[in-house]
Amino acid sequence: MMLSRSLELFAPHHQELRQRLIKIFLTIIVFTALAYGFSEHIARIFLAPLFQASPLIDKLVYTNLPEAFLAYIKLSLLVGLVASFPVIIYQIWRFIAPGLKSSEKKFTTTVVLWATLLFAAGAAFALVVVLPKMLHYFMSYASPNLQPLPKFGAYLTFVARTMLTFGLSFEIPFLMVMSGKAGLIKAGYFRKKRFSFYIAIVVLAFLLTAGDFMATAMLAIPLFGLYESGVFLTALFGVGKK
């Protein structure tokens, strides 16, 4: 009896959640389809840093017949997900907004806005600054006797993973400040726990780069800088003092 009553009370929320999930799913499909129409142009943008990194590379290869097709599908889906991100956040916020206070709604909107902007900044930084340096180093091993033959699908996966990693990492300072604003940490917490967080950063960078030591170093060093900027901003805004 109680279970039946609970299901009746949850029914309206279940219906609303279903509708919002459908909207999110349709938005992703639409943006993915649009991205697929421009997939070759998008792929050229991703390929440009590789061609600039080594004069020995002027084309990529694929060794399985459906590999190129699947690579374009994955690339389109990635772009579709990124383009749908504001809609996804909006639909989630609209679902939980009725249960929040007005101050919490304002705080949530601020978090969503800055998280989106910082993610975009991190992804752009990876594509424009970090990726060319990484590729230049990796291609330095190439020579007339050692010819690199990068696979199309694997390279696009590498680029997407790098951009995603840096997009998420750029949110570190903001999340540190927000955790203080929310009263989750006390003043000076991040400064006192610096060594522990540095170890965690190295482990995280190692896992995100699939055990590549060079890539781990190139990711961990910017993360150290982002962490220190978070420590500075936390002290500057005086959060976590209550």
pLDDT at 116: 80
Instruction: Decide if 4 is inside a domain.
Output: no
Residues 196 and 134 both lie in one domain: no
Both 163 and 187 in one domain: the answer is no
Instruction: Report which of residues 104 and 206 the model is more confident about.
Output: 206
- 60-74 burial code (b ≥16 CB/10 A, e <16): beeeeeeebeebbee
Where among 151, 170, 189 does a domain terminate? Answer: 170
pLDDT at residue 29 in the model: 94
* pLDDT for position 102: 65
**What pLDDT, on a 0 to 100 scale, did the predictor assign at position 140?**
80
pLDDT band at 34 (very low <50, low <70, confident <90, very high): very high
Residue 166: partners with Cβ closer than 8 Å, 6 or more residues away: 122, 123, 125, 126, 130, 219, 222
Higher pLDDT pick, 200 / 177: 200
- Taking residues 203-222, what's their average pLDDT? 74
Domain match, 141 and 116 both: yes
Query: Of 144, 170, 196, at which residue does a domain stop?
Result: 170
Q: How many domains does the chain have?
A: 2
Host domain of residue 37: 9-170
Query: Residue 225: inside a domain, yes or no?
Result: yes
With pLDDT > 90 as the criterion, what percentage of the chain qualifies? 8
Q: Are both 124 and 190 inside the same structural domain?
A: no
Return d(Cα 36, Cα 64) in angstroms, integer: 20
* pLDDT attached to residue 84: 85
Domain shared by 128 and 178, yes or no = no
Note whether 164 and 177 are same-domain residues: no
Q: Are residues 115 and 206 in the same domain?
A: no
pLDDT bracket for residue 31 (50, 70, 90): very high
pLDDT tens digits along 165-188? 788 778 787 777 777 666 667 657
Tell me: do 148 and 181 sit in the same domain. Answer: no
Q: Are residues 190 and 138 in the same domain?
A: no
Per-residue pLDDT, 106: 64
Q: What tens digit of pLDDT does each residue of 94-110 get?
A: 776 666 566 656 666 77
Give the C-alpha separation, 90 to 183, whole Å: 25
Average pLDDT over residues 191-196: 84
User: CA 156 to CA 169: how far, in whole Å?
Assistant: 20
Does residue 115 belong to any structural domain of this protein? yes
Query: Of 170, 193, 222, at which residue does a domain stop?
Result: 170
Give residue 22's pLDDT band: very low, low, confident or very high (50, 70, 90).
very high
